[in-house]
């Protein structure tokens, strides 16, 4: 299939509309979704699906949008789902996003107008160099853009429109799913897996065109609590034990030259100091543990335990405790038992004219948890780049390629 000028306009208009809606999630929240603002976009998506003729579109009580494009073939085929998340990362400002369209980008440096010191250039970002003449969308310089994963949402909405306008394209039941709170690991619940009611799924939540992912990190969170000795600073000599200093010593004890995100790549794992909260009397340090293999994750846990013991020995008056919480596991552990969704995706990529790039995602997606909970879910690109920060950008033409892949996948599953 070839997308039309109207479809390019559709994807552009939807992306700009979605990115302008604040949907930042909040890990400290006890509600689901974690933020009320996510519901604004979720309700908008339900209305848009109804406008496109998808009559069963609904917002669930746990904050996901579910809908069905009914099968148009007489024989029984697997039900597949396309999944994207509405929330944006809490790691950078995401309120008041001003998405900017640089139509038929001429290759010149893109100065972000609300912070002119920030410049997107082909020299600094080599992938951008190949996008001259394409339609590039950025933020304005003070926020992230939110193409992670609103580009994925727009792609899926494009698939809905295309299949509704081309009833001659054969496909089975296709489930549409928009989740909240993916960025904080809370998007996939047991209720969602039950209600999604599909055999296989694809998250549309990746970067470079041609990227097909069926390996993700396995992830744990470590929470280390430091209890010091609190006393007035005026009479603190030989009495005060500053919990914040202990936390700083703990961080410095770890081998930072080989165990942090900025010093690792490929299949190397890392430990990331994510958040420090509290005061001199007591503070809590949250750390993200990431590795592709479970034995590597256990080595990281042991390193944390040893560091706690070491710092405790330097100050016996302090109390240091450590807890670990499982977050998600490498989707490969399950997908390697049934590679059909990966194999069919490979075929679709190649038929669209894309060189397939199979590489692990150095993070996790909703697909990690969906796969673990019984729905094999590899991840497909949607073109987003430099996510979680002000340099984020996406090419509309890359989104079109992702849409073409999804439409072709719908056809290919109809022959299974």
- pTM for the full predicted model: 0.91
CATH number where 277 lies: 3.30.70.360
Backbone conformation region of residue 383, classed left if phi is above 0, alpha if psi is from -120 to 50, else beta? left
Domain match, 195 and 100 both: yes
Domain match, 373 and 234 both: no
Q: Which of 135, 182, 366, 398 is catalytic?
A: 182
pLDDT tens string, the chain, 416 residues long: the values are 666 679 999 999 999 999 999 999 998 899 999 999 999 999 999 999 999 999 999 999 999 999 999 999 999 999 999 999 999 999 899 999 999 999 999 999 999 999 999 999 999 999 999 999 999 999 999 999 999 999 999 999 999 999 999 999 999 999 999 999 999 989 999 999 999 999 999 999 999 999 999 999 999 999 999 999 999 999 999 999 999 999 999 999 998 777 899 999 999 999 999 999 999 999 999 999 999 999 999 999 999 999 999 999 999 999 999 999 999 999 999 999 999 999 999 999 999 999 999 989 998 889 999 999 999 999 999 999 999 999 999 999 999 999 999 999 999 999 98
Q: Which of 328, 348, 378 is the last residue of a domain?
A: 328
Q: Which of 328, 347, 370 is the last residue of a domain?
A: 328
Domain match, 97 and 46 both: yes
Burial of 158 (0-12, 13-18, 19+ CB in 10 A): buried
Domain match, 20 and 104 both: yes
- Beta carbons within 8 Å of 161's beta carbon, 6+ residues apart: 7, 10, 52
Q: Which two tokens stand for residue 130?
A: 């190949």
Catalytic, 181? Answer: no
CATH number where 402 lies: 3.40.630.10
Domain match, 92 and 54 both: yes
Q: For the segment 128-187, what is each residue's pLDDT rounded down to a tens digit?
A: 999 999 999 999 999 999 999 999 999 999 999 999 999 999 999 999 999 999 999 899
Domain that holds residue 27: 5-215+330-413
Longest alpha-carbon distance in the chain: 83
Q: Which helix (H) or strand (E) holds 176?
A: strand 174-179
Domain match, 308 and 336 both: no
Q: For the chain, what is the domain count?
A: 2
Domain match, 152 and 70 both: yes
- Beta carbons within 8 Å of 270's beta carbon, 6+ residues apart: 259, 260, 261, 263, 264, 290
Q: Which of 302, 328, 354 is the last residue of a domain?
A: 328
Catalytic, 298? Answer: no
Domain match, 29 and 134 both: yes
d(CA 320, CA 308): 7
Q: Which of 26, 48, 87, 215 is catalytic?
A: 87
């Amino acid at each position: 299939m070839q997308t039309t000028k109207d479809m390019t306009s559709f994807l552009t208009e939807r992306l700009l509309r979605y990115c302008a809606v604040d949907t930042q999630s909040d890990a400290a929240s006890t509600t689901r979704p974690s933020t009320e603002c996510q519901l604004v976009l979720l309700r908008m998506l339900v209305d848009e699906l109804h406008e496109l003729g998808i009559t069963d579109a609904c917002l669930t009580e746990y904050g996901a949008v579910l809908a069905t494009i009914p099968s148009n073939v007489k024989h029984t085929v697997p039900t597949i789902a396309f999944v994207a998340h509405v929330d944006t990362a809490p790691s950078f400002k995401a309120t008041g996003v001003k998405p900017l369209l640089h139509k038929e980008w001429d290759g010149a440096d893109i100065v972000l107008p609300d912070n002119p010191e920030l410049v997107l250039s082909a020299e600094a970002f080599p992938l951008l160099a190949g996008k001259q003449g394409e339609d590039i969308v950025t933020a304005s310089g003070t926020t992230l853009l939110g193409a992670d994963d609103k580009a994925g949402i727009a792609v899926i909405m494009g698939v809905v429109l295309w299949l509704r306008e081309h009833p001659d394209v054969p496909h089975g039941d296709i489930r549409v799913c928009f989740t909240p709170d993916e960025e904080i690991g809370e998007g996939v619940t047991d209720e969602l897996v039950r209600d999604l009611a599909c055999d296989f799924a694809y998250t549309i939540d990746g970067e470079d065109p041609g990227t097909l992912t069926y390996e993700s990190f396995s992830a744990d969170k470590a929470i280390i609590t430091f209890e010091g000795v609190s006393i007035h600073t005026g009479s603190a000599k030989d009495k005060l034990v500053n919990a914040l200093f202990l936390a700083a010593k703990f961080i410095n004890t770890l081998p930072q030259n080989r165990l942090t995100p900025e010093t690792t790549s490929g299949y190397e794992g890392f430990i990331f100091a994510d958040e420090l909260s509290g005061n001199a009397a007591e503070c809590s340090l949250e750390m993200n543990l990431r590795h592709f293999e479970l034995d590597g994750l256990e080595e990281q846990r042991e390193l944390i335990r040893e560091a706690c013991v070491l710092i405790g020995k330097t100050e016996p008056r302090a109390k240091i405790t450590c807890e670990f919480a499982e977050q998600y596991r490498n989707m490969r552990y399950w997908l390697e038992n049934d590679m059909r969704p990966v194999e069919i995706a490979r075929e679709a990529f190649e038929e669209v004219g894309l060189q397939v790039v199979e590489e692990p995602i150095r993070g996790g997606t909703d697909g990690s948890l969906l796969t673990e909970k019984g729905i094999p879910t590899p991840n497909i690109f949607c073109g987003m780049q430099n996510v979680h920060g002000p340099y984020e950008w996406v090419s509309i033409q890359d989104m079109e390629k992702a849409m073409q892949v999804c439409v072709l996948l719908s056809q290919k599953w109809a022959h299974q």
